[in-house]
Each structure stands twice: as structure tokens, then as C-alpha cells.
A = this chain, B = another copy of it.
């Protein structure tokens, strides 16, 4: 029912090649014929079949994007960035959500590889080792993960945490808790690294509360621990977790930031919409998505080394209302326990 190149050729009285050329490489055909062909094509509502074209050019005009959880606004933003860049480059995007399941990544990678020119693998939960060998012929750009030999787009997580710790230290906080994200998340590892280093440098006492699901419920679950560990401030793996923290603290009637300061990461839109507005480490999410696509495109064109295999973006602390001067460490003073790391 849809017009093919053959229909256009017949209607315009030229050969298929001429139609093909008139549409893809207009300079190679006589202006008169070109005009006629293009008019005919428009009339017939002809749209080239990309699958057929791909079969011969080896390029599908599609890219894939795999993310852990679309319901996390962080990834929605990444998707938006990827989409806009893809469309600007005349590509469509296959989006896939793994529901935080590592095994789904490999599976999707394999399934998608045949239908796309390249894949952006965002925040992979799969161990580095297993990543190798999957999708042999497919260009893959990693996002939020750095693995030797793979092109990637990352943000400077460690520096973001440095900014966070210095901010808290300046406010007088001496004991800060961290609600960690997935153990297999590179971002989480980097954040832990930056945290530890900055804590050492500033003399802040850092408490690792353990690994929690990177979701609202994770924050809810961690809140009581944060309060009990004697910290006057708590940093969450991401904003969604911070929101969970805030919710549970609110339910317990704990004033933020008076009794305890809360700091997130990502700067999802929600962060400035709530009250009190969340202090957070901002990540250029859309830009990162765009950068990943740009890297992918560069891989297509020149074997991939022109733009450099890695791209690192900056993070920026955004101070809003959930961080304030440290509360007097009441219990520890009255009890006289000032030893680092043990409060009760």
C-alpha cells in the first residue's frame, strides 16, 4: 500500500537509481530530473524503507539506549537528551528499561545489536568482565561507567562528593553518614571514593550506612539508621533516595536541616519542588545523554578515535534548604563520647 522507490521511478519515468540519487545525493542528478523526481516522490508520499536501505548500507539509522529504571527522573532526563541528539542526527531511538536487573542488560544488548548502529548503555549493573564479548559487532558507549577499552561518558562523581563534604564541613558538620547505592554501580563506587578522600582531607567522620536500593523506599529504610548513627548530616546516593530519607524524617517529626542535614545527588526536577528544597549535587543529565550520542556518532564515522574514547562532565553542588549549620551533637557531648566512629 505504501509507495516504493519503484513506484516513484515508474511515475517519474526514470530508473530506480536516479530516484535513489535524486533523494540521497541530489548534486549528482540533473536539476530538471531531480525536481521532477522529488515532486513525484512527494506526491506519492514516498518514504524510503530504512530497513531495506540498512540491509545494504549496513546502517540502520537507529540507536539503542538501555537504562536501569525509567521511573527514576534521572534516567528520564538522560533519555530526553539521547532522543534529541539522536533525532538531530536523523536517528531513531530504541529505549529499553532493565528494571535494575543486571541480567537483562546483556540480553537486551544482544537483542538490540542487530537493529541499531550503536548502543548507549547507561549505568550498567553488569560486572565489567561480563560486558566483554557481548555484542561483538556493535558499537557501544558506556554512560556512568568507565571500563578500559570502552568509550564512555561519565561525570565527575568524586568531585561532586568533595564539594558536598566541604560544604557540610564548612557548616560545622563533623560526622556525616552516606546512604550507598547499588554495590555494582560505578557511580556509587566513585562517590564513595570521593567521599572518603574528602572526609580524610577535612577531618570529617564518615559513616557508611550500607547499600540500599536506589529508590524512594531505600531512603525510607535508611533514615532511622542515619539518625541513630550520630551523624548531623546525611548524603544520599541520589535524589530519589534523599526524598525517601526526607519523608521518613518528616514522619518522625525530625526537623531538617535543624536536627539533621540532607544532601542528594542528581538534581532531578523534584528536588526544587519539594519543601524544604533539597540541596544536591547537580549532574548535567541531558548533556550527558547528548554527549553519549555524539560519541557514538563519531564512532560511526572515523573508527572512533577522533573525539577520544572518554568524555567527562562536571558536577556542581546546588545549595538549597536541606543543609544548614550542624546541630550541637547533644547526646555525644552529654555522654562525653567524643571518640570518632562510636556514638552510642
Q: Please list 26 pairs of residues, one from A and one from B, whose beta carbons are closer than 8 Å in the complex, sorted by A's number.
A: A1-B136, A1-B137, A2-B114, A2-B137, A47-B113, A49-B55, A49-B114, A50-B115, A51-B51, A55-B55, A62-B115, A70-B70, A71-B77, A73-B73, A76-B76, A83-B97, A92-B112, A93-B94, A95-B95, A216-B269, A216-B273, A243-B273, A247-B274, A250-B275, A251-B275, A270-B270
User: Binary interface profile of A, 60-72, with partner B (CB < 8 Å = 1, else 0)?
Assistant: 1010000000110
| Contact size range, A | 35 or more
A143 to chain B, nearest CB (A): 17
Contact of A95 among B51, B79, B250 (CB under 8 A): B79
B60 with A70: CB separation less than 8 A: no
Chain B residue contacts of A95, Cβ below 8 A: 79, 83, 93-95
| A residues 32-55 in Cβ contact with B at 8 Å | 45, 47-52, 54-55
Chain B residue contacts of A83, Cβ below 8 A: 70, 95-97
Chain B residue contacts of A269, Cβ below 8 A: 71, 216
User: Binary interface profile of A, 236-254, with partner B (CB < 8 Å = 1, else 0)?
Assistant: 0000000110010011000
Asked whether A28 is an interface residue with its Cβ less than 8 Å from the other chain, the reply is no
Nearest to A133 among chain B residues (CB) is B45
Nearest to A243 among chain B residues (CB) is B273
B97 with A94: CB separation less than 8 A: no
Contact of A97 among B71, B79, B250, B273 (CB under 8 A): B79
Residues of A at the B interface (CB closer than 8 Å) are: 1-2, 45, 47-52, 54-55, 60, 62, 70-71, 73, 76-77, 79-80, 83, 92-97, 110-115, 136-137, 216, 243-244, 247, 250-251, 269-270, 273-275
How many angstroms from the CA of A324 to the CA of B45 in the assembled complex? 57
How many angstroms from the CA of A73 to the CA of B48 in the assembled complex? 35
A92 with B71: CB separation less than 8 A: no
Chain B residue contacts of A244, Cβ below 8 A: 273
How many angstroms from the CA of A247 to the CA of B274 in the assembled complex? 7
Chain B residue contacts of A113, Cβ below 8 A: 47
How many angstroms from the CA of A60 to the CA of B54 in the assembled complex? 13
Known: A2-B137, A71-B269, A136-B2. A92 touches B111 (CB 8 A): yes
Contact of A115 among B92, B110, B111, B136 (CB under 8 A): B92
Q: Sorted from nearest, which 4 A-B pairs have the closest CB atoms?
A: A51-B51, A95-B95, A1-B137, A250-B275
Chain B residue contacts of A92, Cβ below 8 A: 94, 96, 111-112, 115
Known: A95-B93, A274-B274. A51 touches B60 (CB 8 A): yes
